[in-house]
Amino acid sequence: MYNKILVAVDLSNDAKKVIDTAVRMAAGTADNLHLVHVVEPVAAAYSMDIYAVNINELQQEAINMAEKRLQKIGGDIGLGSDRTHTLLGAPAPEIRDLAAELGADAIVIGSHGHAGWKILLGSTAIKVLHGAICDVLTVHVGAEE
C-alpha cells in the first residue's frame, strides 16, 4: 500500500514498537523504510555556565551519538546508512520536510496519547500531523495514563 515510509523515532525503547508497526505496514520488509531522528538544538538558555561548556562541541557530540544509535537500529532491520537520517532542528518541521524531500507517502511516529492540556500544548506527533502532505500513523507507545 505504501511505497516509501518515513519512520520517526526518538531512540528510546519505544522506537522498536514504532519500527515494528512500520515494517508490518511495508508487508513485513524494511525495503521501503527510512528512519529519522531529530536532535533538538542545545539551547544556550539552559542553566549552565556558557564559558565552561563549548555549546558547539556538546551539540556535535549529541548528533554523533544519535547518528550511531540510529544506524545501529537501522542496521538491525537491514537498512543501510543511506536510509537513516539524523537531523538537527525542531522535530516536526524537520520530519515533514524530509518526508517531502524523500517523496514519502506515509510517516510513522510514536505518540504517548496524552489527553487534556498536554494535547493542547502539542506533542511532536500532533505537530507532524499538522502540515504533513502524506498519511501519518501514530503508534501508541509508553505507559498508560
Would you place residue 44 in the very low, low, confident or very high pLDDT band (cuts 50, 70, 90)? very low
| Residue boundaries of the structural domains of the chain | 5-140
Segments in 26-112 forming alpha helices (H)? 55-76, 91-102
Is 120's pLDDT higher than 50?
A: no
Would you place residue 56 in the very low, low, confident or very high pLDDT band (cuts 50, 70, 90)? confident
Is 75's pLDDT higher than 60?
A: yes
Which pLDDT belongs to residue 28? 80
CB 23 within 8 A of CB 115: no
CB atoms within 10 A of CB 11: 16
Please name the CATH architecture into which domain 5-140 falls: 3-Layer(aba) Sandwich (3.40)
* pLDDT > 70: percent of the chain: 83
> In the sheet where 33-39 sits, what is the strand order?
84-88, 33-39, 5-8, 106-111, 135-140
pTM of the predicted structure, to 2 decimals: 0.86
CB atoms within 10 A of CB 73: 19
What is the arithmetic mean of pLDDT over 3-19?
94
* CB neighbour list of residue 104: distance below 8 Å, 6 or more residues apart: 4, 5, 6, 34, 98, 134
Amino acid at 134: C
Mean predicted lDDT score pLDDT of the chain: 86
